[in-house]
Structure 1
Amino acid sequence: MTRLTGQPFAINPDLIERIESTPDTILVLMDGTRYLVAETLSEVVALVQEYRAAIVSRALHPPEPSRPELSSVVLPLPTRPQGE
């Protein structure tokens, strides 16, 4: 998101209760906090949709391990000595 001063900031879209457009775009969070942003209502909705689609996509198609040789390594878990 972008403040009207031009400063970018990130916000958790799960905390957005509603978006007002009067004509400024205001994000109203669940706790009542309000943020005035430069994006339009439709831009905010599109950004939230893209964010959620990316989460679903990553869940359905996890990235390949960056070091495949480590993906096949099995490390034993420590065990308790008998009698404890």
Structure 2
Amino acid sequence: MTCRNGELYSIDPNTIERIETVPDTVIHTVHGRTYAVAAPVDEVVRIIRDHHAALLVVQKRLAGGTAQIADHASDVRTSTLRVERRARSRDGDHPGSPADRRPASTDAGDPARD
């Protein structure tokens, strides 16, 4: 971002709480800081959107899929994203996810439940 006095700085878009536009564009963060920027609010929103889109592209590439940045969603080539289930859970001893450890429902065939 460019400050009104010409100074360049960056803001983590995840910390932006709100953006005001009266009379200048002012960014408020969750930490209580405010930044007056030279760009109009539409430009700030576009920069944030492009930042998040670039992060999604990188995450998809890291996951083994293919991705590309496009101006419109229909311009992106369709691809698949492979998701693999862990052999063990993060808590150590139990295999799979907690959903795999749920007891089977005993309500099968109960006419009151159907």
Structure possessing the higher relative contact order (Cα contacts under 8 Å, 6 or more residues apart): 1
Structure with the higher fraction of residues in helix conformation = 1
Partner of 1:24: 24
Structure with the higher fraction of residues in strand conformation = 1
Deviation sequence 1:3-58 (CA, Å, 0-9, x none): 11111111101000000000200000012211000011000000000000000001
Over the matched positions of the two proteins, sequence identity in percent amounts to 35
Structure 1: which 5+ runs fail to align? 63-84
The size of the alignment, in residue pairs, is 62
Matched residues in 1 for 2:44 and 2:10: separation?
12
Partner of 2:112: none
1:37 partner amino acid: V
Runs (4 or more) in structure 1 with deviation over 2 Å come to none
Q: State which structure, 1 or 2, has the greater radius of gyration over its C-alpha atoms.
A: 2
Secondary structure of 2:10's aligned partner: coil
Q: How does 1:54-69 map to 2 (within 5 A)?
A: 54-62=54-62
